[in-house]
Structure 1
Amino acid sequence: MLSPKRTKFRKAFKGRIHGNAKGGTALNFGAFGLKAMEPERVTARQIEAARRAISRHIKRQGRLWIRIFPDLPVSTKPAEVRMGSGKGSPEFWVARVKPGRIMFELDGVPHDVAAGAFERAAAKLPIKVKMVVRLGEPTSQD
């Protein structure tokens, strides 16, 4: 699973996810992309599950790019522990995803295969997503 090799600080504040994505909103690598429609924290496990779903559906043809990286540690305290005595230890890593962010990109596969792959990946993610197509790409309707 994805996680940073090293970080400046071991634990992070929770923070809030405000506004729309500032960058990463256009297709840069592939012909098809999966765009986030709402703000949410996406865990490294969810990213990996979506990656597996896509790569299994496209049957190792084409190329997949993951455009988000889980760089925020989320700490939790053990069950049935009393209040106080500091912050819990880091348990897993998340990526903060804003609306408009391209999360995955695909190239080298037909439109219907990419649509099926992204549909499977969307089932693994905690947010509403939308498939975007580069202008000039032939779709199944053409």
Structure 2
Amino acid sequence: MLVNKKLHNKYSIKGCKKFQFLQIGNFGIKTISYGRITESKWKLLERDLQRKFKLILGHKKNRIWSSLEFNSTLTKLSLEARMGKGKGAIYANSKFLKPGALIFEFTRLPKQYENEIFTFIQKKLDLKLKLVRF
């Protein structure tokens, strides 16, 4: 049974998941709070994760999946600019994260290292996170 919500606009809202579930990996990390992450910080986090996995597991193959798309741009005017001079130059791409958004999924990682990876990511991000298992 499909339940259609009556809206003022004539098109339906699609792709509006409140909570995401694991699709590929056997454990993942999910947000509990609202927050914003920039693309440069995201790339640093991914590189640090690869380095951490190399220290823990050596050269064993492991997979990390992330489904973040940076859909917002952050702009900034210079300090000397007066009001009314426009929006400013783009200085970063960002993504606004809602509670329940799945950040990472991992496979081929032993269970004894899950909490270590979770605390490592939690220290790097200023978001409240939750560990999700399959």
User: What is the match of residue 4 of structure 1?
Assistant: none
Query: What whole-Å deviation, never above 9, does each CA across 1:81-103 have from its counterpart, x for those lacking one?
Result: 22111111111000111100110
Distance 2:122 2:43 in 1: 12
Distance 1:27 1:57 in 2: 22
Distance 2:47 2:118 in 1: 11
User: What is the match of residue 83 of structure 1?
Assistant: 83
User: What is the match of residue 106 of structure 1?
Assistant: 106
Structure 1: which amino acid aligns with 2:44?
A: A
Structure 1: runs of 5 or more not aligned: 1-20, 135-142
User: What is the match of residue 121 of structure 1?
Assistant: 121
Larger radius of gyration: 2
Structure 2: which amino acid aligns with 1:45?
A: S
- More deviation in 111-120 or 81-90? 111-120
Structure 2: runs of 5 or more not aligned: 1-15
Query: Contact (CA 8 Å) 1:58, 1:114: kept in 2 or not?
Result: no
Aligned-residue identity in percent: 28
**TM-score (norm: length of structure 1):** 0.73
Query: What whole-Å deviation, never above 9, does each CA across 1:20-71 have from its counterpart, x for those lacking one?
Result: x725610011011110011111111221122122222221531000121212
Picking from 37, 41, 44, the partner of 2:39 is 44
Query: Contact (CA 8 Å) 1:32, 1:131: kept in 2 or not?
Result: yes
**TM-score (norm: length of structure 2):** 0.76
Q: Secondary structure of 2:123's match?
A: helix
Q: Secondary structure of 1:58's match?
A: helix
How far apart are residue 123 of structure 1 and its match? 1.5
Task: Kindly report the root-mean-square deviation, in angstroms, between the aligned alpha carbons of the 2 structures.
Answer: 1.7
Structure 1: which amino acid aligns with 2:53?
A: I
Distance 1:81 1:64 in 2: 43
Higher share in helix:
2
Structure 2: which amino acid aligns with 1:46?
A: K
Q: Runs of at least 4 residues of structure 1 off by over 6 A?
A: none
- How many residues are treated as equivalent by the alignment? 114
